[in-house]
Amino acid sequence: MYEFREWEVDLARRELRTRGVPVPLGGRAFQIFAVLVQSAGELVTKDELMARVWPGAIVEENKLQVHISAVRKALGTDRGALRTSFGRGYRLVGSWTIRKGSTLADRFARSPMGMCVQPFLTNVPAASFELVGRTAAMKHLQAFLSVSRMITLTGPGGIGKTVLAMELTRSVFPTFDGDCWIVDLVSLSDPSLVPSRVASVLGLNLAGEISPESVGPAIGARRLLLVLDNCEHVVDAAAKLAETIVRMCPHAYVLATSREVLRIEGEHVYRVPPLDVPPQNDEEPNSILGHSAVQLFIARTRALDLAIPLHGRNLPSIAAICRRLDGIPLAIEFAAARAAMLGPEVVLSRLDERFGLLTGGRRTALPRHQTLRAAFDWSYELLPEQERCLLRRLGIFAAGFTLEAANAVMGNKCRATSVFLEQISNLVAKSLVMVDGSAPACRWRLLETIRAYALEILAESSETDQVQRRCAEFLRDPSRR
């Protein structure tokens, strides 16, 4: 915590406050201010600022100037405290004092842009692009890390769990005072190999059979942040290992990404939300541009050096694309790549064929991230057959469904059984079905993109006529809807 006059800079919560009231400041602007406040009174060159706030990225100077202007605007009448040394850099003047604490939260309270004094190790790659629309998520997760040693990021395919986990790890590594390692489990087909993969990445020298019970003591009292990425297909083995490490290693933290929660003791679950999309019928340009899904769409088209003119019907079409893709980042990136070639209106008109249209992911991406269809195939193929059947049949409901409706399309004549209720619960836990919080009664729904996938799978089966008939028979009785 840094203080000056009526100002406070809370690095743990990533907040700038005046008289205790938070002052809005964007994520990059706050990082710039954090670097300046730690060097208060000293000149920080433009090159140093850009290297510490955008590590590994090539950034134009005007981008830095935009965020400097945002900092000055936030400081209001004290904007003069941020001085420009023309052609060189910036200096924050004033008597900024440090108030330190000794709680676990304070270990994360130092700036994520600070420098390590010991040569701790990490295999986290440098960021290749700026993370869009995740400032609030980063604040939540940094706060969670100060109170929990086991966090699972969950959500549907393409929601950005891995990207968010890597950004979080990058942000805490410089001041974590320990090693930070990412272990990608995606290529493992044998769950029993999970402990071996972790031991290999951590460089643990273990003899004999490698198990969670041998990995835990080998880590011992090391201070460590371990990211278990892509756990869903080996979830039981990943859960056992994570729980063992947290229990046996007092200074180890585990961050998991999975489409299904691990369900272990001490687990803190963070459901990664979709990006913010413009509401229906909002055609005001400034309002549309204020939503993170649109910002990501535009950023990706510009990265292809094929920026789309933001006039005429283009901007409302982009807003509609983002809505129909539920704010899912991977889907939006695919759509942006197609729109850069075909135009937003063409892409919007073809979204009913989204799984054929939205292809062409990065050549180096995982196979399941190279097309939108592959991203959902991965989740679908991990389901037991009865849950697959239920998911594809639920696609018949355009406006959500009740338990009774879902039970009807499954052909059950009596009340929902405990087995059926467990199947619905499992689909919710696996981020494929959502509780419809907007409905007054208990209803569930599929995101539009998941529903489109379910309908496509249903059409490939021989069940379509039967499911449509059962749905019609159910809806014919108004009292049961």
Q: Quick: pLDDT tens for 448-457.
A: 999 999 999 9
- Secondary structure of residue 396 in the 3-state scheme: coil
Strands (E), 93-223: 97-98, 150-154, 179-184
Average pLDDT value for residue range 230-256 = 96
Calpha distance 30→46 (Å, rounded)? 16
- Buried residues in 125-155 as b, exposed as e (16+ CB within 10 A): eebeebbbbbbebbbebbebbbebbbbbbbb
Stronger pLDDT, 37 or 364, i.e. the higher one? 37
Average pLDDT, the chain: 86
**Tens digits of residue pLDDT in 75-126:** 888 888 889 888 888 988 887 777 654 344 444 444 444 443 346 888 988 8
Please report the pLDDT score of residue 73 as a whole number.
87
Give pTM, 2 decimals: 0.71
Place of tokens 């600070």: 114
What angle is formed at CA 265 by the lines to CA 384 and CA 236, rounded to 5 degrees?
Answer: 30
Chain Cα centroid distance, residue 95: 38
Which stretch of 14-23, 89-98, 224-233 has the lowest confidence by average pLDDT? Answer: 14-23
Residue 41 burial (10 A CB sphere; 0-12, 13-18, 19+): exposed
Q: Helix 61-75 crosses helix 46-53 at what angle (to 10 degrees)? A: 90
Q: Is the pLDDT of residue 199 over 70?
A: yes
Residue 331 burial (10 A CB sphere; 0-12, 13-18, 19+): buried
Q: What's the pLDDT band for 479 if we cut at 50, 70, 90?
A: low
Q: Is 286 in contact with 310 (CB distance < 8 Å)?
A: no
Helix or strand holding residue 349 (H, E):
helix 344-349
Please report the pLDDT score of residue 109 as a whole number.
43
- Secondary structure of residue 211 in the 3-state scheme: coil
Calpha distance 422→436 (Å, rounded)? 18
- Secondary structure of residue 71 in the 3-state scheme: helix
Please report the pLDDT score of residue 150 as a whole number.
96
Chain Cα centroid distance, residue 214: 32
Please report the pLDDT score of residue 414 as a whole number.
65
Q: What's the pLDDT band for 169 if we cut at 50, 70, 90?
A: very high
Q: What percent of the chain has pLDDT over 70?
A: 89
Please report the pLDDT score of residue 433 as a whole number.
93
* Token pair for 180: 């930070």
Q: Is the pLDDT of residue 335 over 50?
A: yes
Please report the pLDDT score of residue 393 as a whole number.
96
Average pLDDT value for residue range 210-224 = 94
Please report the pLDDT score of residue 57 as a whole number.
63
